[in-house]
Chain A
Amino acid sequence: MKNMKMKLARTERELSQEQLAEAVGVTRQTIGMIEAGKFNPSLQLCLSICRVLGKTLNDLFWEESI
């Protein structure tokens, strides 16, 4: 499932995938694959992404039932 919340949070911060990737120490492909729902990041990587984007784990990685 695509992670649109993360993509939205990133674009709100005006960060490219490349910039976010550099900030958290991974490759651009990894960020792209997380956003596309093709890769499940570790908790440590999730926390790094949250820190850079100024969000909580709930904001970015919690799936709410509609």
Chain B
Amino acid sequence: MKRFKKVVDERQELELLRIEHVVFWIMFWGLFISFIVQSMFMDVPFRQYLPEFVIFMVSCVGVIIGSVKKGQWDFYTRPTMKTYVLTSLIGSVAFGIIFGIAQYVRTEFYEDKILVLVLTTVIMMAVIFAAIFALSALVGHMVKKKQERLADAYGDDEDE
């Protein structure tokens, strides 16, 4: 039994979904930027933003599980090796730039040791690249498997 009966028609439902979609991604990236600023530039203790961080991670996991279950990847790209490499590259370079600047601004140790800072940043970038690549390749593989299962379930031979 449905507890709540919808009172919107299909046009209204679609418009509401679009609004919620845009607002969700604004909130998602806003929270992400907030974590970066708090953790890398403001020295805010982790426990202070732990509740928001948990909610953020839950939403990340929710998006991944939902996408895998429905065999969906993204609005603008397909789950290919090129996408995994590009995503990992963009993510790791962006992280590296922010990490490098934050370390330079906050840590006196690096002021006359630029080479050490560059080396640390490159190592961090490599770790982030590997993490993003592994996660996107794993999710992409699961999405493609689900897409194949859907195509088989509703494919040409379905009735035979």
Contacts and interface: CB of A to CB of B under 8 A. Distances in A.
A33 B70 CA distance: 13
Interface of B: 71, 147, 150-151, 153-156, 158
Interface in A8-25: 16-17
Contact of A35 (B150, B151, B154): B154
Contacts of B153: 32, 36
A29 B147 contact: yes
Contacts, number: 25
Contacts of A36: 153-154, 158
A64 B78 CA distance: 39
Contacts of B150: 29, 32-33
A29 B71 contact: yes
Interface of A, secondary structure class, is helix
A33 B154 contact: yes
- The 4 A-B pairs of least Cβ separation, nearest first, read A32-B154, A29-B150, A36-B154, A29-B151
A38 to B, nearest CB: 7
A55 interface: no
A40 B156 CA distance: 19
A51 interface: no
A28 interface: yes
Contacts of A32: 150-151, 153-155, 158
Contacts of B71: 29
B73 to A, nearest CB: 11
Contacts of A33: 150, 154
Nearest to B14: A42
A28 B158 contact: no
B24 to A, nearest CB: 23
Residue from A29, A33, A36 having most chain B Cβ neighbours under 10 A: A29
6 contacts: A17-B151, A29-B71, A29-B151, A32-B150, A36-B154, A36-B158
